[in-house]
């Protein structure tokens, strides 16, 4: 298909399955484009991979240190906003909002505009999670 050849080159997605990392009940963590997954959660599905791929795109456009800094600061702000409910805080981080809202659309990484997560910043109180 002609349109596909116009797509931006995808960064490589490396997935490392292991026993203990990420710790606790987190299924996966994306560190510098490498996905770490606890084995007990099984092999990642297409939508989970898409979710992590969206994070990789966010990391690349933010450059890695700024991504993690922003992620951490926004998480703290959301914690206060949601009265220390860590699950609500996590789901309302703009990077996560973008990833969760679009993980089921496998074409999304090709359609996505740079810094698309930014428009999710202002939806802090709009959803119920
Ligand atoms: Zn995520």
Q: Is residue 129 part of a domain?
A: no
Q: Give the whole-number percent of the chain exceeding pLDDT 90.
A: 80
Phi, psi angle pair for 60, to nearest 5°: -65, -45
Tokens of 44: 């990642």
What separation in Å is there between the alpha carbon of 7 and the centre of ligand 1? Answer: 23
Q: Is residue 33 part of a domain?
A: yes
What separation in Å is there between the alpha carbon of 30 and the centre of ligand 1? Answer: 8
Whole-angstrom Cα distance, residue 16 to residue 20?
Answer: 11
Q: Please report where in the chains the tokens 């606790």 appear, as a residue.
A: 24
What separation in Å is there between the alpha carbon of 44 and the centre of ligand 1? Answer: 13
Q: Is residue 106 part of a domain?
A: yes
Which tens digits make up the pLDDT trace of 44-92? 999 999 999 999 999 999 999 999 999 999 999 999 999 999 999 999 9
What separation in Å is there between the alpha carbon of 93 and the centre of ligand 1? Answer: 9
Q: Is residue 128 part of a domain?
A: no
Structural domain range at position 82: 2-123
What separation in Å is there between the alpha carbon of 64 and the centre of ligand 1? Answer: 15
Which tens digits make up the pLDDT trace of 4-15? 444 555 556 899
Tokens of 58: 């966010």
Q: Is residue 39 part of a domain?
A: yes
Q: Is residue 8 part of a domain?
A: yes
If one counts the domains in the chain, the total is 1
What pLDDT, on a 0 to 100 scale, did the predictor assign at position 13? 84
Rounded to the nearest 5 degrees, what angle is found at the Cα of 23, between the Cα atoms of 21 and 27?
75
What separation in Å is there between the alpha carbon of 3 and the centre of ligand 1? Answer: 28
3-state class of 25 per DSSP? coil
Q: Is residue 81 part of a domain?
A: yes
What separation in Å is there between the alpha carbon of 2 and the centre of ligand 1? Answer: 31
pTM confidence score:
0.85
Tokens of 25: 């009940």
Q: Is residue 24 part of a domain?
A: yes
């Amino acid at each position: 298909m002609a349109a596909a050849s116009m797509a931006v080159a995808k960064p490589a997605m490396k997935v490392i399955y292991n026993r203990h990392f990420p710790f606790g009940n987190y299924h996966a963590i994306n560190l510098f484009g490498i996905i770490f997954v606890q084995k007990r959660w099984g092999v990642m599905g297409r939508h989970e991979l898409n979710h992590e791929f969206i994070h990789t795109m966010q990391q690349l456009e933010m450059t890695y240190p700024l991504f993690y800094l922003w992620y951490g600061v926004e998480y703290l702000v959301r914690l206060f906003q949601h009265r220390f409910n860590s699950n609500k805080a996590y789901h309302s981080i703009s990077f996560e909002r973008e990833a969760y809202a679009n993980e089921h659309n496998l074409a999304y990484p090709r359609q996505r505009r740079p810094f698309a997560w930014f428009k999710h910043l202002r939806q802090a109180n709009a959803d119920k999670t």
